[in-house]
Amino acid sequence: MRKANAKTLDGTPIELVANIELPSDVDDIHRSGAMGVGLFRSEFLFLGRDTLPTEDEQYEAYRRVAENLKGLPVTIRTMDPGTDKNPKWLNHGVADNPALGLTGIRLCLAEPQMFRAQLRALLRASRHGKIKVMFPMISSLPELKQALAQFEYAKQELRDNGQSYAEDIEIGAMIEIPSAALVVGSFLKHINFLSIGTNDLIQYTLAIDRNDDSVSHLYDPVHPAVLKLILHTIKTATKAGIPVSVCGEMAGDPSLTRLLLGMGLRRFSMHPANLLAVKRVVLDTHLDSIGTVVGRMLRTEDPDKIADLLQQLNAVADA
Ligand code: PEP
Ligand code: MG
């Protein structure tokens, strides 16, 4: 089972990859049977310390991950401190509303020296494995273009210094802000892949703080508005031939696997511990048999109906 390829009953291959936070988590990848790493949350290298990690320190960490994956691909997300994990050495003060403040790519663009040191480290490490780079919390095309300009600048710096990198390194963007999902079509010609961060996409669509227990009952991954944004992203990317994955918690929830398959998702990135359960559902699903129910789920805007239909979708053995 761990070694079995993930494909649906009709033979459609599904890529199951894993999320990691530290280079040492790579052992779990091999144990889980994942086909690679779909999200390496690189900010964990920056946390719990008083100073910024140097470019060389980062290079060693990324290189170790790439080499230990033994040919499997790894998507490394550039620093995304998030509102709950601000590094000690950051000197931007405490914002009143950090989730809407200087976070994710905004922080990186505000700290270009830090950002380019990370990009150079990633580029240098790309010679040692299959590294892809991904930008978090993109909210608009100009922001994506600024991040890409920094990426090109980092390449130029390496070339000027006689250092090499994988010329064919792929670059992607996370879709985790509703504005990005709505204008995703404008991103496509600039990137090689997309990954939907449903944790933040739900938070920002529903105005629910993902870390606030007092509103956690309202945090609803199958809210019709959330489903519309995910569907639009998957459809737009797929039509243009741009690979798209989900790397938020939804991807690792086996009760949502059939729904996501029915929405056209073919690449899931999740905590390694969830991989087997999701694979079981994939192996037990026929895409033709889920289309009608998923179609009804995507057409209704009534959450009660969505809940009933989801139950129906998951009730059938080998649907
Ligand atoms: C997400 O927002 O879904 C995501 C994968 O990123 P993080 O959970 O690290 O914010
Ligand atoms: Mg996120």
pLDDT of residue 44: 87
Task: Locate 229 and state its tokens.
Answer: 């944004």
Question: Tokens 């060693």 map to which residue?
Answer: 60
Ligand 1 and 78: CB distance under 6 A: no
CB atoms within 10 A of CB 152: 11
Ligand 1 and 252: CB distance under 6 A: no
Query: Can you point out the beta strands (E) in 153-201?
Result: 170-175, 193-196
Handedness of CA 258, 260, 265, 267 (dihedral sign): negative
Ligand 2 centroid–CA 231 distance in Å is: 18
Task: Locate 268 and state its tokens.
Answer: 């899931």
- Give tens-digit pLDDT for 61-118: 999 999 999 999 999 999 998 766 566 667 777 777 888 988 899 999 999 999 999 9
Distance CA 248, CA 235 (A): 18
Q: Cβ(205)–Cβ(229) under 8 Å?
A: yes
Question: Tokens 């938070």 map to which residue?
Answer: 203
Question: Tokens 């459609």 map to which residue?
Answer: 12
pLDDT of residue 318: 54
- Taking the mean position of all CA atoms in its chain, how far away is CA 272? 14
Q: Cβ(178)–Cβ(201) under 8 Å?
A: yes
Q: Which of 247, 249, 270 to mutate to test the pocket of ligand 1 (most atoms within 8 A of CB)?
A: 247
Ligand 1 and 82: CB distance under 6 A: yes
Q: Which of 25, 78, 199 to mutate to test the pocket of ligand 1 (most atoms within 8 A of CB)?
A: 199
pLDDT of residue 46: 87
Task: Locate 4 and state its tokens.
Answer: 């079995």
Distance CA 259, CA 234 (A): 13
First to last CA, the chain: 19
The rounded radius of gyration (Å) of the Cα atoms in the chain is 19
pLDDT of residue 84: 61
Nearest CA to ligand 1 atom 4: 197
pLDDT of residue 194: 99
Q: Cβ(129)–Cβ(71) under 8 Å?
A: yes
Q: Which of 176, 244, 245, 250 to mutate to test the pocket of ligand 1 (most atoms within 8 A of CB)?
A: 176
pLDDT of residue 105: 96
pLDDT of residue 264: 98
Q: What is the pTM of this model?
A: 0.97
Distance CA 251, CA 245 (A): 9
Distance CA 128, CA 78 (A): 18
pLDDT of residue 231: 98
Ligand 1 and 104: CB distance under 6 A: no
- The CATH class given to the 15-313 domain equals alpha beta
Ligand 1 centroid–CA 162 distance in Å is: 35
Sequential pLDDT tens for the chain (319 residues)? 667 789 999 999 999 999 999 988 998 898 899 999 999 999 889 888 888 999 999 999 999 999 999 999 999 999 998 766 566 667 777 777 888 988 899 999 999 999 999 999 999 999 999 999 999 999 999 999 999 999 999 999 999 999 999 999 999 999 999 999 999 999 999 999 999 999 999 999 999 999 999 999 999 999 999 999 999 999 999 999 999 999 999 999 999 999 999 999 999 999 999 999 999 999 999 999 999 999 999 999 999 999 999 999 999 765 5
For residue 91, what are the CA distances in angstroms to 80, 115, 209? 16, 15, 24
